[in-house]
Amino acid sequence: MVSASPRGAGRNVDVVVIGGGVLGTAVASRLSCTTASVCLLEAETDVCEGASKGNAGTAVSYYGPPGTPETDLINRSCPGWEALCERLDVPYRRIGAVMVALDEAEAGRLESTADELREAGVRGQLLGPAAVRGLEPLVTGRCVAGLSMPDEGVIDPMALTVAYANLAVTNGAVLRLGAWVTAVHHDDDVTSRVDFTGGSVRCRFIVNAAGVAAGAVSSMAGGEEMRYWPRKGQYAVLDRVFAQQLSRIVFCTHSATTKGINVVPTTHGSALLGPTAADLDDPDDKATDEETVAALIDSAARLVPAISPDFVMKTFAANRPASDEQHRLRFDRQMPRLLHCTNRSAGVSISPAAAEEALALLRQSGLDAQERPDAVAALPRMARLRTEPEPQRLIETDPLYGQVVCACEHVSAAEINRALEMPVPATSVDGVRKRTGATYGRCQGALCTAGISFMTALHTGTGPASVRQTSRGTVGSR
Amino acid sequence: MTPPFLVVGAGPSGLGFATEIARQAPVVLLDRIPVTGGTAGWADARVRQFTAAAIRRRVQLRLGESALRWGNGLLLVAAPRRFERIAGQHLIFAGGLRPATAANLHITGDRPAGILAGTVAEHLLATGVKLWDTAVVLGDGPWARTVAERARALGTRIVAVADGGNWGDERLDRPDRLSVIGRDRVTHLRLHTSQSFIDVPCDAVVLAADPKPNRNVDGALVEGTPAVTFHQPVLPHAAAERYEFAVQEARKWLEVNGETR
């Protein structure tokens, strides 16, 4: 689970990052490009297993309200998505969004949102109903007004998180998976020892990017008492037969209390409806229920009437880290070497600037982190058969591009092998899915899961019973 | 020269359809795996006869080639070392059936390891490795019996949640609503009745209900697409009957479409 020659491979590093979600991996990848040594600890057996996995797939231009550090980080991140995603080989399309008002009350709130956008320096334009439907013809005829937000984009959040982790490991960061942090001891005012299942590591700084577990990590590290709880969001994924007609993100009008249900074209050609919001106690509760899913589809169909339950390929739930402080990117007030790095919901959208900010804060506190001229800045491009207009040229790079494993999403054996061999490799069927999009389609893996299981088993030295299906569970139970 | 008819899927249905229309026009028959027979299996004696009949009618077999995209009279296919666009006057998609997904069946609850499609379970069990202690096989689709027999032979107890389903160690009626329980691995399948529910302990759930047509060629995903015909009947099950049904359907189809050549 480590690169060939990690820097700081001993038991001492400059920075330990706790949490392999989008923020933890972004910070680790940024630090890995400097002379500082970094160790990334992730409790699960793969990166991107928490909120970042169940993400709405948007890189937003505005989340609100204006004038907050979160809005500032979104503003700083937003212009750079094309360049970053090109560099990290992450699917991204700046397709723009339209926020839809269905009655006069919503139209009034839309005007307030337009004012907020102006104040935040984000592009947006109020539109009449005809113009809304000109932008996105699938929007309901009941629409009374709209707000165009041209800088919104769709992104593959799992590919982004994996790419950050791949870049970090390529640049010598140490990644420890299955590493639950169990204790943090402070040797003195300069160094700490972080104990985790399977080892321990000494460091000067700790970055707490543990998402919903960030409160527990802070307590262990002698930091502030911080309360985090899971906010469950349920989603439905719709078939491309519907999604190929959808050209833009469709948002419902924000209310004072919720951002509501969105309709999002994904970078894989499907569409995502969600998220709902329900506060929980149990971070492992990721169950869907029939009533919520039905209400979710109804809400989405109010915006886009062409949506019907017949298009649903999959439903799932994920928990985002709600907290009394919606955004924390600051040093702990009691433990000055503990840097908190968590966000309620917009982790993907702030991640590039948050990583820069984390580095700046660590430097201000004395971390010697100079840019390394030999740091790798870009990941090798992995061509995707599905989106390649002239696939014949792929054969020259790998003949296995012609061997289609996932029939629905047209994912080839070449892509799956790459996922199983990358710096942070897939070690489960689910890990292959996150890295390639295999099994995303309408058969949900009925045609390809056996093949992916066998390929994964070959690469992980397991067999049909013991190969991992998910991060936590195997195909067989024995 | 008139381009050939393209038939995708060389199971009994595709073989029957291709062989019948080959009476009138050139036919290319493709399959993503390198043998004929589809789920009936290449070793089946009938499949061998059907394949021989297709070859006698000069059906051009292209096996191990996956159809990817269809449009403007061209089918993009992938083969292990090559991509090619094949011209065709009409695409007949006989890509077979797959089990209904959890979403198709409105199954809610957790999403742990141990939930597998019947098609997947068939392949995994063909390795001869015991995978589970107790598996629920859900539904009566064509995979259910094979999965149950293979798993039972390896020592797995099978609970059939299906209206037929006498092939299990135990059988329960299939309810309207189902949900999965289990965080890391499935521990129970919950069967909801109007008033209450029962939890069936298990360490795997095999989805083998309500066969749905495979649809995986971009540009040929929905009924009504011009120059595309779908032949993916749920019944009959048996290979010989599926073949014969395809022959009959192809004859009817030719009466309507035969003049296109």
The pLDDT tens digits for A66-82 are 999 999 999 999 999 99
Q: pLDDT grade, residue A3 (50/70/90)?
A: very low
Contacts with B, A 377-396, CB within 8 Å: 385, 391-392, 394-395
Find the radius of gyration of the CA atoms of chain B: 20
Q: How far is CA A28 from the centre of its chain?
A: 15
CA atoms A208, A214, A216, A222: torsion sign: positive
Q: Chain B residues with CB inside 8 Å of A464's CB?
A: 124, 127, 129, 131
- If you average pLDDT over residues A186-204, what whole number do you get? 95
pLDDT (0 to 100) of residue B261: 46
Higher local confidence (pLDDT), A257 or B178: B178
pLDDT average, residue stretch B211-215: 97
Length of chain B: 261
Contacts of A158 (CB under 8 A, 6+ apart): A48, A52, A53, A55, A434, A435
- Which residue of B82, B183, B215 is in closest CB contact with A402? B82
| CB nearest B185 (choices: A442, A444, A477) | A477
- On chain B, the residues whose CB falls within 8 A of the CB of A446 are 98-99, 101, 117-120, 207
Q: How far apart are CA A269 and CA A244, in angstroms?
A: 7
pLDDT of res. A7: 55
**Cα–Cα distances in angstroms (integers) from residue A192 to residues A6, A34, A185, A268, A336, in the given order:** 20, 21, 6, 43, 12
The fraction of chain A above a pLDDT of 70, given in percent, is: 98
CB nearest to B129's CB, from A403, A463, A473: A463
What's the pLDDT at A1? 39
Please check whether residue B18 is in contact with residue B27, taking contact to mean a CB–CB distance below 8 angstroms.
yes
- Give the per-residue pLDDT at A5: 45
**Which band of pLDDT confidence, cut at 50, 70 and 90, is reported for residue A478?**
confident
What is the arithmetic mean of pLDDT over A81-92?
A: 98
pLDDT of residue A235: 97
pLDDT value at A117 more than 80: yes
pLDDT > 70? residue A96: yes
A288, closest residue in chain B (CA to CA): B109
Q: What is the DSSP string of B198-242?
A: EEEE-SEEEE--S-EE---SBT--STT-TTEEE---S---SHHHH
- CB-neighbour burial class of residue B39 (10 A; exposed 0-12, middle 13-18, buried 19+): middle
pLDDT in tens, A400-455: 999 999 999 999 999 999 999 999 999 999 999 999 999 999 999 999 999 999 99
What is residue A4's predicted lDDT score, i.e. its pLDDT? 40
Q: Which residue of chain B has the CA closest to A444?
A: B101
Predicted local distance difference test score (pLDDT) of residue B257: 84
DSSP β-ladder status, B204-207 and B115-117: parallel
Rounded distance, CA A150 to CA A96, Å? 4
- Report CB contact under 8 Å: A399, B80: yes
| First-last CA distance in chain A | 25
Q: How many CA atoms lie within 13 A of A357 on its CB side?
A: 22
Assign residue B73 a region (left: φ > 0; alpha: ψ between -120 and 50; beta: otherwise): left
Q: Do B78 and A385 touch (CB under 8 A)?
A: yes
Question: A288, A384, A387: which to substitute to probe chain B, counting the most B Cβ within 10 Å?
Answer: A288
Is the CB of residue A240 less than 8 Å away from at least one CB of chain B? yes
Residues ≥6 apart with Cβ < 8 Å to B252: none
Kindly list the residues from chain A whose CB atom is less than 8 angstroms away from the CB atom of residue B221.
Answer: 240-241
- Cβ distance A453 to B222 less than 8 Å, yes or no, reads no
- Tell me the pLDDT of chain A averaged across its residues: 95
A156–chain B nearest CA distance, Å: 21
pLDDT of residue A10: 57
- Report pTM: 0.96
The answer to whether A284 contacts B124, with C-beta atoms less than 8 Å apart, is no
Does A174 contact chain B (CB < 8 Å)?
no
